[in-house]
Each structure stands twice: as C-alpha cells, then as structure tokens.
Chains A and B, each alone.
Chain A
Amino acid sequence: MTKAYKIEVDCPACADKMEKAAGKTPGVRQAVVSFMTLKMKIDFEDGADAETVMKEVRKNCRKVESGCEVYI
C-alpha cells in the first residue's frame, strides 16, 4: 500500500534527511520525499496501520529536522 502525504520543509538537504528518517521507521517499506512537489510517498509494509505509522514517521522526521511538518 502506497500513500502520498503533503509535507512542509525548507531545503533539499532537509528533505533528504526526512526521507532517511521516514524510511527507517518501523512499518515503512520505502519512503520517497520530493522537495520539489513537497510530497512524501510512503510504501507501507503489509498489515501496518497507516495512521499510527505516520505519527511515528512525523516524530522521527522532527528529530532530524525540527522545522518540518508532515500532514497526516
């Protein structure tokens, strides 16, 4: 299952950091962050609950880039 989320981030380097942080979150198979379109695409692992996983993703992203936002 793949879903796209709108994000808010300032620079491409920060977007890369978010991508790495989101990708390491349990329940996420793959994360792709596009700075240009301000979107985060998450490919969830089977059986993962998107909403709970996304809360973790947002938390992990904030850890590496405090000013970022993920709209769930």
Chain B
Amino acid sequence: MTKKQKINLIRILATVAMLVLMHFLPVTGILRLILYILIYLIIGYDIIIKAFRGIIKLQPLDENLLMTVATAGAIAVAVWRGSDDYIEAVAVMLFYQVGELFQSYAVGRSRRSISELMDIVPDHANIEGENGALEQVDPEEVAPGTRIVVRPGERIPIDGVVVSGSSSLNTAALTGESVPRDVTEGDEVQSGCINLNGLIKVRTTREFGESTASKVMELIEDASSRKSRSENFITRFSRIYTPVVVISALLLAVIPPVITLLSGNVADWETWIYRALTFLVISCPCALVVSIPLSFFAGIGAASRKGVLVKGSNYLELLSETKTVVFDKTGTLTKGVFEVSAVHPEKMDGNTLLHLAAHVERYSTHPIAASLRDAYKEESDDCSVGSPEELAGLGIVACVNGDSIAVGNSKLMERVGAKWHECHRHGTVVHVAVNGDYAGHIVISDAVKPSAKQAVDELRACGVTNTVMLTGDIRASAEAVGKELGIDEVYSGLMPRDKVSKVEELLAEKKSKKQRLAFVGDGINDAPALSRADIGIAMGALGSDAAIEAADIVLMNDDPVKIPAAVRISRKCLRIVKENIWFSLIVKSACLILGALGVANMWIAVFADVGVMVLAVLNSVRCMFSK
C-alpha cells in the first residue's frame, strides 16, 4: 500500500468509529449538525477541495464535483426537513472513499502482477573482477564489448556472444518456446533468456537499452499508450455522459415539482432534490474508465508471455476482427531453406545416387548444391572427384571414380544424351546421368514448417474465413503447398511489388470495414505489404530490429501456430472489454431508473457504483490468463 492509501484507510476507519460514537451520543440540534459536518469534512476534504479547484479552473465536470454536490445537497435536504439525519451524506462519502481506496489498491495490485510476469529485464550484470570475484553492477553502465558472467539460474542482462562455456537457455520469456536452446562458444545470445545449467561468459555486443529484453519491455510499455477504439469510445463517452447525467439530475429536481405545482398541488421539493442527488451518485463512470485500459494491458501481457508482441491496444482490437489472413509463403509457412524432399533412382539405390550428386556439387556455391551436400553428410570421403565443369544454366559435369557424372536440369540431360523423364513431385528436379546413362533424379523443395497446417486449421477454427498465400514461386509448387495446408487462395509468380498490389486488391474486396486483413511475413523484404495491411505480423523477429519496426504485431520466433494463439487472446480480451462495458452500463442505467423512481436511495447508489467497479476490474484481470 502506498502512503496515500494508508492515510485514506486511517481516515475511513476513524470515520466509522466516529459514526458509531455519534450514534450513542445524545446531542441534538445545531451541535449535532456541526459534529456531523466535522466528520464529513474529515472523510471528504480532498474530494471537496478537488471539486472547488475544478470549478475555479472551469474544468469539465468530474466525479469529485458529482460527489460533493450530492453529499452537500443531502445535508442541506436534511437541514431543510429538520430531520437531524445527517448520517446518509457522511456514509455516502465514506463508501465513495472505500471504493476509491479499493480501486486504487486493486488496480495497483493487478498492474504490479502483470508487470512482474512481463518483467524480463534483470537489474544487475556480473562482471569478473581482477581476483576472479564477481561484482554486481548496474547493467546500464556496462559498455558494449565488456565480458559479463551469467551464472546458472540468472537471466542474461545484455545481448552478446558467448566467449566461453556452454549451457542451455530458456528462451520462453522472449519466444514462448518451452524447449531450451543449447548455446556454446561463438553463439549469439539475447538478453531476457534464462541460463539453465552451465556458467557462461558473454562478450556484450550492445548497450543495455538497445538489448532485446529492454526493447521488448519498451514495446510492451508503449503499447498501452496506443489507445484502442474501445478506450477512445469510453473517453468520448464519459465526456458526453457526465454532463447529460447532471442535466437530467437538474431536470429531475425541477420538473416533477413544477408540474405538481402547476396542477394545483403542493410541490414535494425535497423528495425530488434527494432523488436527483441519488442520480448524481450513481452516475460516476469509474468502472468503465478503469477496467478497459486494464483489460488491454493484461491482454498485451498475456500475448507477450507467448512470444507475441502486440505494439498497441488498437492492434489487439484489430486482430480480434481479423477475417482474412494473407501469408507470404517462403519463411512463413515454409522453412525458406531448400531440402531434398525425394530421391528417385533408376538403377542404383537412393543413397548411391545422392552420394554421386553430392560429390559432383562439392565445389559449387549454388544453394541447390548446398542442400545436396546437406542431404549426404559423409560427402568428404576418399572418392576421387576431378575436373568439375560448371555449365551455366544447365548444371555440373564432373569425374567421380573414373565415371563422368552429369548433374543438372533436363537440358543437360538432352546434351549428354540421357533419356530423362518428368517427375510427379513438385519442386526443383535435379537429374543425374552416369556416362550418358540416365541414373535418376532428386527433388529439392522448400520444406513446409511442421506446424503450418495446424496453424491454418486453428485460424479457421477461431473465425478466420479466408486464408491466402502469396509467393514468387512457380504455380505448380505454390499450389502443391497451398493444397497441403488447406489454404483457400494461392497467388504465385509474384514480384515483391505485386504482393503489395495483391494485398491492396484483397483489401478492396472486403465486404465490410470490420473484416480485417492481416498480412504475415518475415519482415525483411515484405515491409511494404506489412504496413499496407490492416495488421502486419512479422515472424522470426528475435534480434531483427527492422522486422520489429515494420510490423504491428511481432512473433519472436517463427512458429506460425503463434498467430492463432494471438487471435484467441485478442478475441478473449475484446470479449471481456465488451462484457465490462455492457455490464456497467446495464447496472448503472437500472440504478438510474430506480433512483429516479425513488426506489433506490443513496446507499444503494453508492454500492452499485463501487460494486460494479470492483467486478469489472476483477473481470479485466482474466485477460491475463488466456490459453
């Protein structure tokens, strides 16, 4: 509890004690009034001061003024009636203060627990002193190039490169990934990861403020200042709402008595003024104003724990309305690395075919050569490989163990006179001929990520109606991937600028504004499409500032399953926001009607106000615990 909260708690307890005392003191008349006004001032002085300050500075109506007018009015009505019953005004102020105290305590608590969960920035770094003793220093003071020591169980404070030792790192705080990552000398490590078992020494490559963990924290903290439409709605709403309520209260106080007067009866002024004051108490909009930013904050926190950075409440809101997801193929749905996906030998066994092909490609730097060598690990054996000849646009011919081996496309096969045939598989087909005799072919293709299919299915399950894939690839292989993953629309053969115009076309096709379009890319070469779409999602962004800059939502690792996870979190968060809006509005309007009819008195009014606020705050915190 802060100092201010403690003071308020003492004021509240003192007021309760004095009210109990007053109940037994046999004072009446003017003395009784003075004593009650004294208690009233003790419990409400800050509210009253704020209210007057607001009037002097001509600030718009706020809850302080509402409460002051209502309670002071209640005392005036009691004096007028001569009822000696001033307890109500004091009690209303008391409950209002209890509510305020609870609100500030509850919001403070939930804010702290959310921040703690997201707090991935360590507060110290270990530097090795001359005698080998470790010294803890403020990470802000560590210059790039310093050696720091990270012991098991500690978080890495600053980005760097491991210079000695090896260990496993828990990267869950950054990526949401639960499988530990092994690092050893020469590996880059990001701040925010937890060192699990071995002691490692790291040479820092960045300043603390530029390190991954600090950047991530900054993004999350800034996110809550980009307001969503729901939040803006509430701000606008309370700006209109408060004056409307005050005017209605005035009308409620004046019109019914005037009508009774005009119809020739005695006007019941104090009853209607009392009802109008009740009206004012009910009208405080605090439940909405507090709970909605809290919901978004908790939602952004929940997403960041899963390795999804949402750069603003507004993007969380847009994400929940996503109906179309456009994927860039390479690096997003596929690994973006070429792999041997099939080996079809004619006469020899598959391994021998790969063996020969890998030998021929030994000296080539072509990406296809690299993937062939990757597929046959024991390439550097004692076979003799000689006179390799690279024929541009065709392939390579080389001499392996005395045989002339040709590895290349169909044109090369024509040239060496081998009887080649087409393959039914999609991808790049590499044919092999031994001494002009066709030996078979190897298919190389970009492998689909194992979780891509699951991601597409889950997206559909959580309400995305249209999935689109854009790629620069040829049609056949693009459609094969699209079919495998169950993508609705596939556009192939696109240049980077075509991708932007395709996104624009898809945006124009949307039936309504509320159906948002998200673009998912790797953030490196599709920045224009990322920014053109309603929501740009960049993946695999750990350590890439450019991708973080270009996108609205950033996946720290490159697992596409995080996209449906983020959509689910956003949907839950927005559902809770809407629940809170409707719940508060319905309860408030019910109380307003009851208050106007005279059924609800000021006690009920203040309970309704505080109760709704508490429930709404508790409901908001649920956003944090999304699956």
Contact of B104 with A38 in the complex, beta carbons under 8 Å? no
Is A60 an interface position by the 8 A CB rule?
no
Is A36 an interface position by the 8 A CB rule?
yes
| Nearest chain B residue, comparing its CB with the CB of A19 | B225
Contact of B225 with A34 in the complex, beta carbons under 8 Å? yes
Contact of A36 with B290 in the complex, beta carbons under 8 Å? no
Per-residue contact bits, chain A 25-37, to B (CB 8 Å; 1 contact, 0 not): 0000000111111
Is B297 an interface position by the 8 A CB rule?
yes
A33 and B111 CA atoms in complex are apart in Å by 15
A39: chain B residues at CB < 8 Å are 221
Is B529 an interface position by the 8 A CB rule?
no
| Nearest chain B residue, comparing its CB with the CB of A13 | B289
Min C-beta distance of B106 to chain A, whole Å: 12
Is B457 an interface position by the 8 A CB rule?
no
Contact of B4 with A36 in the complex, beta carbons under 8 Å? no
Contact of A8 with B2 in the complex, beta carbons under 8 Å? yes
Count CB-based A-B contacts (< 8 Å): 46
| Nearest chain B residue, comparing its CB with the CB of A33 | B225
Contact of A66 with B50 in the complex, beta carbons under 8 Å? yes
Contact of A37 with B293 in the complex, beta carbons under 8 Å? no
With A11-B289, A13-B289, A66-B53 as given contacts, are A37 and B2 in contact (CB-CB < 8 Å)? no
Min C-beta distance of A18 to chain B, whole Å: 13
A39 and B111 CA atoms in complex are apart in Å by 12
- Count, chain A residues at interface, CB 8 A: 18
| Nearest chain A residue, comparing its CB with the CB of B104 | A10
With A11-B289, A12-B289 as given contacts, are A36 and B111 in contact (CB-CB < 8 Å)? yes
Min C-beta distance of A60 to chain B, whole Å: 12
Contact of A13 with B62 in the complex, beta carbons under 8 Å? yes
B252: chain A residues at CB < 8 Å are none
Contact of A32 with B225 in the complex, beta carbons under 8 Å? yes
Categorize the interface residue count of chain B: 20 to 34
Selected contact of A38 from candidates B4, B62, B111, B235, CB within 8 Å: B111
Min C-beta distance of A70 to chain B, whole Å: 15
B471: chain A residues at CB < 8 Å are none
Is B115 an interface position by the 8 A CB rule?
yes
| Nearest chain A residue, comparing its CB with the CB of B63 | A13
Per-residue contact bits, chain B 288-317, to A (CB 8 Å; 1 contact, 0 not): 011001100100000000000000000000
Selected contact of A34 from candidates B59, B103, B104, B224, CB within 8 Å: B224
| Nearest chain B residue, comparing its CB with the CB of A67 | B4
Selected contact of A36 from candidates B235, B286, B293, CB within 8 Å: B293
Min C-beta distance of B9 to chain A, whole Å: 14
Min C-beta distance of A9 to chain B, whole Å: 10
Contact of A34 with B221 in the complex, beta carbons under 8 Å? yes
Q: Tell me the A29-72 residues at the B interface (CB within 8 Å).
A: 32-39, 41, 64, 66-67
Min C-beta distance of A8 to chain B, whole Å: 7
Min C-beta distance of B64 to chain A, whole Å: 10
Min C-beta distance of A19 to chain B, whole Å: 9
B104: chain A residues at CB < 8 Å are 10-11
B225: chain A residues at CB < 8 Å are 32-34, 41
Min C-beta distance of B595 to chain A, whole Å: 23
| Best-surrounded residue of A10, A33, A64 (most CB of chain B within 10 A) | A10
Contact of A37 with B221 in the complex, beta carbons under 8 Å? yes
Selected contact of B293 from candidates A10, A12, A32, A66, CB within 8 Å: A12
22 A-B contacts, Cβ less than 8 Å apart?
A: A10-B4, A10-B104, A11-B104, A11-B286, A11-B290, A12-B289, A13-B62, A13-B238, A33-B225, A34-B221, A34-B224, A34-B225, A36-B114, A36-B293, A36-B294, A37-B111, A37-B224, A38-B111, A39-B221, A66-B49, A66-B50, A67-B46
State the 9 A-B residue pairs at the shortest beta-carbon distance, nearest first. A36-B297, A36-B224, A37-B221, A32-B225, A34-B225, A34-B224, A10-B104, A12-B289, A12-B293
A10-B4, A10-B100, A11-B104 given. 20 additional CB < 8 A pairs? A8-B2, A11-B286, A11-B290, A12-B289, A13-B289, A16-B235, A32-B225, A34-B222, A34-B224, A35-B224, A35-B293, A36-B111, A36-B224, A36-B294, A37-B115, A41-B222, A64-B57, A66-B50, A66-B53, A67-B46
